[in-house]
Chain A
Amino acid sequence: MKNRAAFISTLLSHELVAVVARWILGSVFVYMGLIKAVHPVDFLKILREYNVVESYIVLNFIAAALPWFEVLCGLLLLGGIAVRGSALLLIGMLVPFTIAVLSHALAVQATKMIPFCAIRFDCGCGAGEVIVCHKLVENASLILLSLLLLIGRGNRWCFQYDFVKSA
């Protein structure tokens, strides 16, 4: 047991793991962000369906800005620039979004009386209609990868790992 924990610890602290995590996260966010940025109206309609935002100005602002914001964060991670700051922002986007997907799915389940994992809808992630269980697992994985970058020291192949240098 102790050996396994040590192995996992060694693996997570390995720089290559952080590089792979960075590239996976970066690619996913650039891809998903671009899909939404190309079709902002579709994203706007889906955002509205969550009924989380009352103000239309805030709704428009999120639909207009969030996709490009994701693209930028993804590009920063791919290039290895401000890695931990970008990872923190990704967590800041992923956690509320995952909660919104979960609560929306629970509302659908309560209304339609169907098994949770049979629910599928277009969550606005850019991948079209998805099975909600798959989406939640995917988001949890992305959050874990972001956490890994946030606490990790994987600064190999980075243009500028830290924006803010230590004193």
Chain B
Amino acid sequence: MAQPWLKRVMGRELKRVLLEALIVAVIGLAFSLLANLASPRGLSITRNYFPGSKTAHGEIHGSGNSTVNPAASSTYGADPSAGEIVATHLKEKGLQPVDGREVWQLFQDPQYQMELIVFIDARDDRHYSEGHIPGAYQFDRYYPEKHLRTALPACLNAKQIVVYCTGGNCEDSEFAALTLKEAGVPQERLSVYVGGITEWAANGWPVEVGERKSGKMRGAKP
């Protein structure tokens, strides 16, 4: 049985700790928001980064990154049913899914050199410079102001646009396509390469590293 004086002391201590936590929380909140604002990679609080979608696609919602063996789910080649799920999902959103063979044909089409067919890489700077489909424009949809100036005119002039990201559970290509649609690109010209760069590279097709049109290639089969 605690003595009344002990209860009083403990009550005072608890109040002090709670007040201290409140002060730290308020300072922390202000610091966090300012740091986010100052950071070049900061997020916009008011922008909906996942328009028209409440959950991530996957076998169970929210398990997109879960795996027993991380290598197993990295491409649709390893899990064809996942590819079909995503293709159906894309069609529901009015986007046209395309497979590796079609993308390869588009890549070899002379219209690709004339930029009537355009590839859009929806990944971030690091992944893009590590390797992208030769000639693909980068459009990291999380920072559209950085990429729209170059990618949008190319898309508006093109007859067909193929958007891709990593493949697997990556949804960035889908959302990038929707963002381009909102920016004025006709929806019927937009298609999404479901297998993404992972499948492209796995097929031994050429990968350009560094900047667009850098000319530095890797991974091309003779």
Q: Do A and B come from one complex?
A: yes
Asked if B23 and A163 sit within 8 Å, CB to CB, the answer is yes
Is B24 located at the chain interface by the 8 A CB criterion? yes
A residues 31-77 with Cβ under 8 Å of B? 37-41, 44-46, 48-51, 54, 56-57, 60-61, 63-69, 71-73, 76
Is A164 located at the chain interface by the 8 A CB criterion? yes
Asked if A41 and B124 sit within 8 Å, CB to CB, the answer is yes
Annotate B29-68 by CB proximity to A: 1 below 8 A, 0 otherwise. 1011101100101111111111000111001111111111
Asked if B35 and A89 sit within 8 Å, CB to CB, the answer is no
A114 to B49, CA, bound (A): 33
Annotate A140-151 by CB proximity to B: 1 below 8 A, 0 otherwise. 000000000010
User: Which B residues lie within 8 Å of A63 (CB)?
Assistant: 43
A56 to B48, CA, bound (A): 6
Annotate B155-171 by CB proximity to A: 1 below 8 A, 0 otherwise. 00000000000000000
A73 to B27, CA, bound (A): 10
Q: A40-B42, A60-B44, A120-B68 are in contact. Are A65 and B24 (CB under 8 A)?
A: no
Number of B positions contacting A (CB below 8 A): 46
A84 to B23, CA, bound (A): 12
Asked if A167 and B12 sit within 8 Å, CB to CB, the answer is yes
A122 to B70, CA, bound (A): 10
Asked if B49 and A88 sit within 8 Å, CB to CB, the answer is no
Partner pick for A49 among B25, B49, B56, CB 8 A cutoff: B56
Is A112 located at the chain interface by the 8 A CB criterion? yes
A-side binding surface: helix, strand, loop or mixed? helix
A96 to B17, CA, bound (A): 20
B-side binding surface: helix, strand, loop or mixed? loop
A57 to B12, CA, bound (A): 37
User: Which B residues lie within 8 Å of A66 (CB)?
Assistant: 32
Asked if B62 and A107 sit within 8 Å, CB to CB, the answer is yes
Is B19 located at the chain interface by the 8 A CB criterion? yes
A111 to B124, CA, bound (A): 31
Is A6 located at the chain interface by the 8 A CB criterion? no
User: Which A residues lie within 8 Å of B64 (CB)?
Assistant: 49
User: Which B residues lie within 8 Å of A68 (CB)?
Assistant: 28, 31-32, 35-36
Is B220 located at the chain interface by the 8 A CB criterion? no
Chain A residue at minimal CB-CB distance from B140: A41
Is A108 located at the chain interface by the 8 A CB criterion? yes
Asked if A64 and B42 sit within 8 Å, CB to CB, the answer is yes
Asked if B32 and A111 sit within 8 Å, CB to CB, the answer is no
Partner pick for A89 among B19, B21, B66, CB 8 A cutoff: B21
Is A162 located at the chain interface by the 8 A CB criterion? yes
A-B contact pairs, 22 of them (CB 8 A): A40-B43, A41-B43, A51-B55, A51-B56, A51-B61, A51-B62, A61-B45, A65-B32, A65-B36, A66-B32, A68-B31, A72-B32, A86-B24, A89-B25, A108-B60, A112-B66, A114-B68, A120-B66, A121-B67, A162-B20, A163-B23, A166-B16
Could you list which residues of chain A lie within 8 angstroms of chain B, going by C-beta atoms?
Answer: 37-41, 44-46, 48-51, 54, 56-57, 60-61, 63-69, 71-73, 76, 82, 84-86, 88-89, 92, 104, 107-108, 111-112, 114, 118-122, 129, 150, 162-164, 166-167
